[in-house]
A and B are shown apart, each in its own frame.
Chain A
Amino acid sequence: MTKSAEAIFMRLLRGVYTEPFAAAQDKLRECARNDVKNLVMKTKTILQNYLFVLPAVLIFSIFYIYPFYKVFTLSLCQWDGIARFDFAKNFIGLRNFIELFQDKIWWSAMLQAGYITLIALTFQNALALMLALACDRDIKGGNIYRVIFYLPPVLSEVVVGLVWKWIYDGNYGLLNYWLASIGLSNLVTDWLSNPNTALTCVTIIHCWKGFGWGFIIFLAGLQTIPRQLYEAAKVDGASSWQMFKSVTLPLMAPVFMLVSILTVLGTMQVFVLILSMTGGGPGYHTEVPVTRILASMVRSSRFGYACSQGIMFGAVLLAVSFVQIRLSKYMKQA
Chain B
Amino acid sequence: MKEGMKYKIERFLKDSVIHILLIIVSIGCLFPLLWMVGSSLKTQQTIFSDMSIFPKNPMWGNFYLAWTKGGFGIYFLNSMLYTVTVVFGIVIIASLAAFAFSRLKFPGKNILFYMLLAAMMIPLPGSFVPLYVLMTRLHLINTRIGYILCMINVGLSFSIYLLKTFFDKMPVELEDAARIDGCSRLGIWWNMALPLAKPAIAVIVIFNSLNVWNEYILATLIFSSKNLMPLQRGLMIFQGIHITEYSLLMAGMTITTLPIILVYLIMQKHIIKGITTGVIVG
Binary per-residue interface labels of chain A (158-186) against chain B in the complex, 1 for a CB within 8 Å, 0 otherwise: 11101110110000101001000000000
Selected from A49, A56, A71, A134, the residue in CB contact (under 8 A) with B126 is A71
User: Smallest distance from the beta carbon of B248 to chain A beta carbons, Å?
Assistant: 12
**A317 CB-CB contact with B under 8 Å:** yes
On whether the beta carbons of B130 and A145 are closer than 8 Å, the reply is no
Nearest B-chain residue to A318, judged by Cβ: B121
Q: List 12 A-B contacts (CB under 8 A).
A: A49-B105, A59-B152, A63-B134, A81-B132, A134-B22, A149-B26, A150-B268, A157-B214, A167-B32, A275-B236, A306-B129, A310-B129
Nearest A-chain residue to B108, judged by Cβ: A50
On whether the beta carbons of A81 and B133 are closer than 8 Å, the reply is yes
Selected from A148, A160, A258, A318, the residue in CB contact (under 8 A) with B32 is A160
Selected from B30, B153, B260, the residue in CB contact (under 8 A) with A154 is B260
On whether the beta carbons of B106 and A46 are closer than 8 Å, the reply is yes
User: Smallest distance from the beta carbon of A86 to chain B beta carbons, Å?
Assistant: 14
On whether the beta carbons of A53 and B112 are closer than 8 Å, the reply is yes
**A241 CB-CB contact with B under 8 Å:** no
**B229 CB-CB contact with A under 8 Å:** no
On whether the beta carbons of B130 and A70 are closer than 8 Å, the reply is yes
User: Smallest distance from the beta carbon of A7 to chain B beta carbons, Å?
Assistant: 29
Nearest B-chain residue to A52, judged by Cβ: B100
**Total A-B contacts with CB atoms under 8 angstroms apart:** 232
Residues of A within 8 A of B122 (CB): 64, 68, 314
Nearest B-chain residue to A58, judged by Cβ: B93
User: Smallest distance from the beta carbon of A150 to chain B beta carbons, Å?
Assistant: 6
User: Smallest distance from the beta carbon of B158 to chain A beta carbons, Å?
Assistant: 12
Residues of B within 8 A of A146 (CB): 272
Inter-chain CA distance A172–B189, complex, in Å, is: 58
The segment from A28-36, A103-111, A190-198, A211-219 found at the interface with B is A211-219
Contact residues on B (Cβ < 8 Å of other chain), bracket: 35 or more
Nearest B-chain residue to A314, judged by Cβ: B126
**B157 CB-CB contact with A under 8 Å:** yes
**A276 CB-CB contact with B under 8 Å:** yes
Inter-chain CA distance A57–B35, complex, in Å, is: 46
**B183 CB-CB contact with A under 8 Å:** no
Selected from B19, B123, B265, the residue in CB contact (under 8 A) with A147 is B265
User: Smallest distance from the beta carbon of A280 to chain B beta carbons, Å?
Assistant: 14
Contact residues on A (Cβ < 8 Å of other chain), bracket: 35 or more
**A93 CB-CB contact with B under 8 Å:** no
On whether the beta carbons of B279 and A208 are closer than 8 Å, the reply is no
Selected from B21, B119, B152, B256, the residue in CB contact (under 8 A) with A159 is B256
Within 270-308 of A, Cβ neighbours of B (below 8 Å) are at 271-272, 275-276, 289-290, 293-294, 297, 303, 306-307
Inter-chain CA distance A64–B153, complex, in Å, is: 8
Binary per-residue interface labels of chain A (302-334) against chain B in the complex, 1 for a CB within 8 Å, 0 otherwise: 010011001101100110000000000000000
**A264 CB-CB contact with B under 8 Å:** no
On whether the beta carbons of B213 and A156 are closer than 8 Å, the reply is yes
Residues of B within 8 A of A60 (CB): 115-116, 119, 153, 156-157
User: Smallest distance from the beta carbon of B18 to chain A beta carbons, Å?
Assistant: 5
Known: A56-B160, A172-B246. 6 other contacts (CB 8 A): A137-B18, A148-B26, A149-B26, A156-B232, A172-B47, A208-B29
**A92 CB-CB contact with B under 8 Å:** no
On whether the beta carbons of B51 and A163 are closer than 8 Å, the reply is no
On whether the beta carbons of B125 and A293 are closer than 8 Å, the reply is yes
**B166 CB-CB contact with A under 8 Å:** no
User: Smallest distance from the beta carbon of B197 to chain A beta carbons, Å?
Assistant: 15
**A135 CB-CB contact with B under 8 Å:** yes
User: Smallest distance from the beta carbon of B159 to chain A beta carbons, Å?
Assistant: 9
On whether the beta carbons of A154 and B210 are closer than 8 Å, the reply is yes
Selected from A50, A56, A139, A154, the residue in CB contact (under 8 A) with B18 is A139
